Structure 1
Amino acid sequence: MTDIVTAGTIVVGVDGSEASASALRWATQQARALRAEVVAVHAWEPSGPRFAPYAPVSARPSAEAERDAAARRLADTLREVLGKRTDVTVRAELVEGPAVPVLLDRARGALLLALGRAPRQWDDTPVLGAVGRECLRHALVPVVAVPVSCPARPAVMAAGVGSGPRARAPRTAVHAVSR
């Protein structure tokens, strides 16, 4: 993998979940305050190897179909979180590969890596999945675990920084990257 992230970026893991949408929302708030760019990364892997060799071919989705579904998931999350207007540059990256190495690679040189985390369980213990735990163990940048209940509108937005006629449409593009 290559190091394509530069200083001044906040990398966010996006998997289509409510937790990753909260992380993306939080990252855009931070990017506004820090005048940084957001890199929304969705890592995907073909499911072919997970099927038994005797599974019917019709049961196996093609790699292209899986890539397209992953791209839609990323685009839908961006659309849901960003809406039509934002004052933050967001670059979307669709990367084939396991989530942990992809996220760690993309976060190299970034300001931080933001990941979503599930709601608290009955015992009030934060829930962090396997990807989040491995990123915390191995990341060379700060890792922020954003809860699902992250507020949608930060104080910066309430002050009018992200609204009004000068706010611009999000600049996003999905780039497919293969290993």
Structure 2
Amino acid sequence: MEENVLRPVVVGVDGSAAALAALRWAAASARSLRAPMVAVHAWVPTRALCAHYAPVSELRTPEEDHFHARNILNTTVARMLELDPTVEIRALLDEGAPAPVLLHHARHALLLALGRGPRDDVTQSALGAVARVCVRNAVCPVVTVPEPSSGNRSLERCRPPEAAMA
């Protein structure tokens, strides 16, 4: 496993319960693989997402957007550390659209872990737009971890299969 020392387990973090579930799964995986873990949050300035005629006074400044994004990342990592104080996480904030940012940071990763939100009905895709792009284009394995449903504690029993990861 010596070749894993510099290859991280990368986790996409967006502040959701699904992202926290992915972070928990990735922490167990990184521990079993003896690999570092990197939590990545991608952000795009609000103004870049709005039409040129949108009222500027109602938009956040780039500095406010950066602060908000940093807060999402820090809060999610802090929640993870509350659940498992022994986990080591490198938190990385990167400006850009989520899929390209995650793919960039997963270039040399052992795997990319992403949260997967609940599906409301069978007509919805099992994966969101970012996960679909990552699954199609990542050069490493991509794991999608479901958001735990209310009252469902199955994630606590979910551990990465060491034999499959070795």
Q: Deviations 1:7-56 (Å, cap 9, x if unpaired)?
A: 33100000111111110111011111111111000000011133333333
Aligned residue in 1 for 2:44: 45
Moved more, 101-110 or 122-131: 122-131
Unaligned runs of 5+ in 2: 149-153, 161-166
Contact 1:121 1:127 survives alignment (8 Å): no
Q: 1:21 to 1:85 in 2, by over 3 A?
A: closer
The separation in 2 between residues aligned to 1:73 and 1:96, in whole angstroms, is 13
Aligned residue in 2 for 1:35: 34
Tell me the secondary structure at the aligned position of residue 151 of structure 1: helix
Deviation at 1:58, TM superposition (A): 1.4
Aligned residue in 1 for 2:90: 91
The separation in 1 between residues aligned to 2:52 and 2:137, in whole angstroms, is 34
* 1:151 aligns to 2:151 (yes or no): no
Aligned residues: 151
Q: Deviations 1:63-103 (Å, cap 9, x if unpaired)?
A: 00000000001111111122175333210000000111110
Aligned residue in 1 for 2:164: none
Aligned residue in 2 for 1:136: 135
The separation in 2 between residues aligned to 1:57 and 1:126, in whole angstroms, is 34
The separation in 2 between residues aligned to 1:10 and 1:125, in whole angstroms, is 28
Identify, as 1 or 2, the structure richer in helix.
2
Aligned residue in 2 for 1:102: 101
What are the within-5 Å matches in structure 2 for residues 1-179 of structure 1? 7-83=6-82, 85-123=84-122, 127-149=126-148, 151-152=155-156
Q: 1:36 to 1:129 in 2, by over 3 A?
A: same
Instruction: Give the TM-score normalised by the residue count of structure 2.
Output: 0.81
Deviation at 1:60, TM superposition (A): 1.7
Aligned residue in 2 for 1:163: none
Moved more, 43-52 or 111-120: 43-52
The root-mean-square deviation of aligned C-alpha atoms, in Å, is 2.3
The separation in 1 between residues aligned to 2:51 and 2:101, in whole angstroms, is 26
Deviation at 1:124, TM superposition (A): 9.8
Tell me the secondary structure at the aligned position of residue 83 of structure 1: helix
Tell me the secondary structure at the aligned position of residue 155 of structure 2: coil
